[in-house]
Chains A and B, each alone.
Chain A
Amino acid sequence: DVKVTQSSRYLVKRTGEKVFLECVQDMDHENMFWYRQDPGLGLRLIYFSYDVKMKEKGDIPEGYSVSREKKERFSLILESASTNQTSMYLCASSLWAVETQYFGPGTRLLVL
Chain B
Amino acid sequence: GENVEQHPSTLSVQEGDSAVIKCTYSDSASNYFPWYKQELGKGPQLIIDIRSNVGEKKDQRIAVTLNKTAKHFSLHITETQPEDSAVYFCAASKGALDNQGGKLIFGQGTELSVKP
Interface residues of A (CB under 8 A from B): 4, 31, 35, 40-45, 48, 50, 56-59, 90, 92, 97-98, 100-101, 103-106
Contact = CB atoms under 8 A, between A and B. Distances in A.
Given A41-B108, A43-B106, A105 B97 contact: no
A44 B107 CA distance: 9
B107 A92 contact: no
B60 interface: no
A100 B41 contact: no
Interface SS of chain B: loop
Interface residues of B, number: 29
Given A31-B97, A98-B93, A105 B103 contact: no
A90 B93 CA distance: 19
Interface of B: 1, 4, 6, 9, 32, 34, 36, 41-46, 49, 89, 93-98, 100, 102-104, 106-109
A106 B6 contact: no
A98 B36 CA distance: 14
B44 A103 contact: yes
A98 B102 contact: yes
Given A43-B106, A56-B100, A97-B102, A103 B95 contact: no
B106 A42 contact: yes
Contacts of A90: 43-44
List 5 tightest A-B contacts by C-beta distance, closest first.
A103-B43, A97-B97, A42-B106, A43-B106, A42-B108
A48 B89 CA distance: 19
B95 A98 contact: yes
Contacts of B43: 4, 90, 92, 103-106
Given A42-B107, A42-B108, A50 B45 contact: no
A11 to B, nearest CB: 16
Given A40-B9, A42-B109, A103-B45, 16 more contacts: A31-B97, A35-B106, A41-B108, A42-B6, A43-B44, A50-B97, A90-B43, A90-B44, A92-B43, A97-B95, A97-B97, A98-B93, A98-B94, A98-B95, A98-B103, A106-B43
